[in-house]
Amino acid sequence: MSIQLDLTTTIPCQNFDSAQGHMTLQDHRVVDVDDNIAKIFGYTTREELLDNIDFVYALVPNGHQSLAKKRYLEAIKCKLNKGKVYTDIPVNGRNISVFCLSHVIELNNRPALQVTLIDITQVVEGERKRNETDRMYRELLCTSKQGILIHRNFKPLMVNQAWVEQQGATSIEHVLSMESVISIVPEEQRQSAIKRCHNILNGNPPSFSSVVINQCFDGTKKYFNLYDNVINWEGEDAIQVVLEEVTDKVELERELLYRAMHDDLTDVFNRRAIYDWLNKPAHHNMEMSCLLLDIDDFKLINDKFGHTVGDTVIKQLANTIKTHVAALNGVIGRWGGEEFIVFIPNTKPTQTQVIGERICHDFSQHTFYGFNRRQFTSSVSIGITNHCICHSTSSINTLIRVTDDALYNAKTNGKNRVSVNRDAVCVEALG
């Protein structure tokens, strides 16, 4: 069983056909494989391999288990900085050769290995005839579907076609002619990227992959899982970067997070998001003004015109609030049904009252349409409490309760109006 050799050439490589698969290892056990891995080791399906193989060393020829265990321990501790070529592995009466590249990932909050295997049997047999092992290793990298770049101080030394396509570059030759590829790193992140490379070269590689954003050559922005480590290139250290595009995954996660934090009807924060916003350390010692807003006689609107028209009224109030609060660094939330809540930091009491009165006025001037284009208007009552510091969930709840008292006063005094707490209610809110 032979070990991988260093690359020593920068001539762009050509692709060749090869089977490629992935497996996940944890605690020396095979956790998952794909069908390609199963076929490489002589199994029909991944299920068949997983049913028959527990420890990864069952896939290793007799006499090589100790070396395999050593390699596993090196890799899991991030001490195995290069891919490896293993040749003459007996499988079902024939010898195969594979290229193995592993990265540390996190699985169930513990380190695991993600291993990529490429069946290079035919390539090894051809290369043995010519003993051109440097070109063989280059071809192995170039067949990878993951983007691979080798650079020194961001000067590209080797790049494969997958990387070129990922980054929207014109060709391998064009990339290799560049003095630096630092331009694809967003400007605000370049110093961090340079520091990361220095740490790797100084023997302090990151423990796990990182998600990064690149400003690609074609102007698009994409997200990648970044795996980078130091390798020997022509007798000097260089950095090998492996990229796996995860743009769709990142955007989906952001969309799901947004949906989890926002009300579907009005696109303002929901109750949980409001509490999360208030509990951020930056807001703990900040004076807050709180507004509670409730549409007057909303049940009558629903009963008379239906819930679809009622939803239109709710959305209009949300839009009216946004118009007056957006520029004040405040936060708006749907508190429940036809009720909204607003928090505005560091605002004068006179300003919050003016904001409330403008919301009342503008909302009452809007014309709604019910059945048969029947016109009607609506109104909102608002309670306000000023200058409270919310340093805990308890103080937040106290502030909301006393503001709800002000809202009740607005309702009982005729509706379509603003009621402001004039008492020193924040002494209790601070407790």
**CATH code for the domain in which residue 308 is found:** 3.30.70.270
- In sequence order, what E strands does 78-220 have? 84-91, 94-107, 110-119, 147-152, 155-159, 210-215
Same domain for 274 and 254? no
Q: Does position 287 have pLDDT exceeding 90, yes or no? A: no
pLDDT-derived band at 430 (thresholds 50, 70, 90) equals: very low
d(CA 56, CA 48): 14
Q: Among residues 200, 231, 259, which one ends one of the domains? A: 259
pLDDT at 261: 94
Task: Classify residue 421: in a domain, yes or no.
Answer: yes
Q: Does position 428 have pLDDT exceeding 50, yes or no? A: no
Bridge partners (DSSP) of residue 262 are 269
pLDDT at 291: 96
Same domain for 33 and 162? no
CATH of the domain at 179: 3.30.450.20
Bridge partners (DSSP) of residue 215 are 221
Same domain for 5 and 118? yes
Give pTM, 2 decimals.
Answer: 0.56
Instruction: Identify the top-confidence range among 67-81, 126-140, 168-182.
Output: 168-182
Q: Among residues 106, 134, 162, which one ends one of the domains? A: 134
**Mean pLDDT of all residues in 67-88:** 83
Please write the tens of the pLDDT for every residue from 145-154: 788 999 999 9
Task: Classify residue 296: in a domain, yes or no.
Answer: yes
Task: Classify residue 140: in a domain, yes or no.
Answer: no
pLDDT-derived band at 54 (thresholds 50, 70, 90) equals: very high
Same domain for 2 and 126? yes
Please write the tens of the pLDDT for every residue from 205-250: 776 668 888 889 888 999 998 888 888 887 889 998 988 888 999 8
Same domain for 186 and 280? no
Same domain for 409 and 313? yes
Q: Does position 16 have pLDDT exceeding 70, yes or no? A: no
Same domain for 126 and 248? no
For 379, the 3-state DSSP assignment is coil
Same domain for 248 and 292? no
Task: Classify residue 221: in a domain, yes or no.
Answer: yes
Same domain for 357 and 339? yes
Q: Give the least confident one: 109-113, 226-230, 293-297.
A: 226-230
* Residue appearing with tokens 């997070």: 257
Same domain for 248 and 304? no
Task: Classify residue 139: in a domain, yes or no.
Answer: no
Q: Does position 108 have pLDDT exceeding 80, yes or no? A: yes
Number of domains making up the chain: 3
Q: Does position 12 have pLDDT exceeding 60, yes or no? A: no
pLDDT at 178: 94
d(CA 154, CA 197): 9
Q: Among residues 208, 235, 259, which one ends one of the domains? A: 259
Task: Classify residue 419: in a domain, yes or no.
Answer: yes
Q: Does position 11 have pLDDT exceeding 60, yes or no? A: no
Q: Does position 383 have pLDDT exceeding 90, yes or no? A: yes
Same domain for 310 and 243? no
Q: Does position 101 have pLDDT exceeding 80, yes or no? A: yes
Contact 113, 75 (CB under 8 A): yes
Same domain for 421 and 285? yes
Domain range for 177 is: 145-259
**Mean pLDDT of all residues in 82-111:** 84
